[in-house]
């Protein structure tokens, strides 16, 4: 597994000697973490100090013959901000667990995930936004593409503690089935300790819309290319909001997108 690479706001970048990223108070850090080797269990820890901000990308792409588990923990202090993008597409059996804790007032959590399941893969994606104090916010959105005989599982959880009033928390899971043999299980959950909050959660599972498919074919695009275009458009949604140019280009190449499809 490659070590985290940090791209600081001064454009200087350095390798970190470990699996922990600490964002100092008032600073911004961009982090790219690629898990592409047989690693068994990997634990990544991010701490964002007061008024700090972190834009992190985690890309899990181990061989489909391996089984892997990744645990990600993020702690945010007062007025800290997190923008986390996670791509999960490798491993015969892959489990990804994310826990993001809003420990200081004004903390904001933004998590976007993409599962790209194929063949006979089993991909498990679990994310927990935990609000401990008032005036915090979280937004969890995960997209899944499931093809062949794959199995995708999403477990989303928002916990709002009793004293964490004036909290906003949202979660959404969208699934796209490409095969009748593929399976998707979705379990979004809310645990709310008081009434003075704003929360919403939802899940949807669908196949490619026939109208969109026929629209592209009517314009001379063959069936295979039309399906690829629609799948890429679906996947693209998980990458919206990325601001670091090098990371954006890397993900575009990995997922087979083009600049035109991405923008």
Q: According to the model, what pLDDT value does residue 258 have?
A: 65
- Which of 213, 187, 212, 216 minimizes the C-alpha distance to 201? 187
Q: Are 173 and 154 in contact (CB under 8 A)?
A: yes
Q: According to the model, what pLDDT value does residue 79 have?
A: 99
Q: Are 35 and 8 in contact (CB under 8 A)?
A: no
> What is the rounded average pLDDT of the residues 146-155?
96
Q: Lowest mean pLDDT: which of 14-18, 107-111, 258-262?
A: 14-18
pLDDT 10s digits, 178-230 = 999 999 999 999 999 988 999 999 999 988 777 777 777 777 777 777 777 88
Largest CA distance in the chain: 58
208-213, Cβ contacts within 8 angstroms, sequence gap of 24 or more: 208/176, 208/178
pLDDT 10s digits, 120-132 = 999 999 999 999 9
Q: According to the model, what pLDDT value does residue 199 have?
A: 95
Q: According to the model, what pLDDT value does residue 178 have?
A: 92
DSSP string, 180-200: TT-EEEEEEEEEES-SSEEEE
> What is the rounded average pLDDT of the residues 46-50?
97
Q: According to the model, what pLDDT value does residue 130 have?
A: 98
Q: Is it the case that residue 17 has pLDDT exceeding 60?
A: no
Rg (CA), the chain: 19
Q: Where does the pLDDT of residue 15 fall: very low under 50, low under 70, confident under 90, or very high at 90 and above?
A: very low
126: Cβ–Cβ under 8 A, 6 or more apart, which residues?
A: 95, 96, 97, 98, 154, 155, 156, 157
Q: Are 186 and 173 in contact (CB under 8 A)?
A: yes
Q: Where does the pLDDT of residue 27 fall: very low under 50, low under 70, confident under 90, or very high at 90 and above?
A: very high
Q: According to the model, what pLDDT value does residue 39 have?
A: 60
Q: Are 172 and 201 in contact (CB under 8 A)?
A: yes
pLDDT 10s digits, 79-136 = 999 999 999 988 899 999 999 999 999 999 999 999 999 999 999 999 999 999 999 9
Which residues does residue 139 pair with via DSSP β-bridges, in sequence order?
110, 170
Q: According to the model, what pLDDT value does residue 172 have?
A: 96
216: Cβ–Cβ under 8 A, 6 or more apart, which residues?
A: 225, 226, 229, 230
Tell me the whole-structure pTM to 2 decimals: 0.88
Q: According to the model, what pLDDT value does residue 189 have?
A: 95
CA 44 to chain centre: 14
Which residues does residue 109 pair with via DSSP β-bridges, in sequence order?
82, 138
């Amino acid at each position: 597994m490659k070590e985290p690479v940090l791209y600081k706001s001064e454009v200087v970048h350095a390798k970190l000697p470990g699996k922990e990223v600490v964002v100092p108070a008032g600073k911004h850090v961009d982090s790219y973490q690629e898990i592409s080797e047989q690693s068994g269990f990997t634990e990544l820890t991010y701490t964002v100090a007061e008024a700090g901000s972190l834009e992190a990308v985690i890309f899990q792409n181990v061989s489909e013959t391996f089984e892997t588990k990744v645990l990600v923990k993020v702690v945010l202090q007062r007025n800290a901000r997190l923008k986390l993008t996670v791509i999960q597409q490798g491993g015969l059996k892959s489990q990804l667990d994310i826990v993001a804790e809003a420990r200081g007032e004004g903390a904001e959590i933004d998590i976007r995930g993409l599962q790209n399941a194929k063949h006979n893969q089993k991909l498990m994606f679990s994310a927990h936004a935990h609000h401990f104090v008032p005036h915090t916010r979280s937004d969890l959105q995960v997209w899944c593409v499931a093809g062949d005989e794959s199995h995708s599982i999403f477990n989303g959880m928002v916990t709002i503690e009793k004293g964490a009033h004036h909290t906003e928390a949202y979660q959404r899971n969208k699934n796209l089935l490409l095969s009748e043999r593929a399976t998707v299980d979705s379990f979004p959950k809310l645990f709310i300790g008081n009434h003075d909050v704003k929360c919403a959660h939802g899940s949807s599972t669908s196949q490619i819309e026939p109208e969109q498919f026929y629209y592209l074919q009517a314009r001379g695009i063959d069936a295979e290319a039309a399906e690829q275009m629609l799948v890429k458009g679906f996947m693209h949604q998980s990458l919206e909001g990325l601001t670091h140019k090098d990371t954006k280009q890397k993900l575009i190449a990995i997922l087979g997108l083009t600049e035109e499809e991405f923008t």
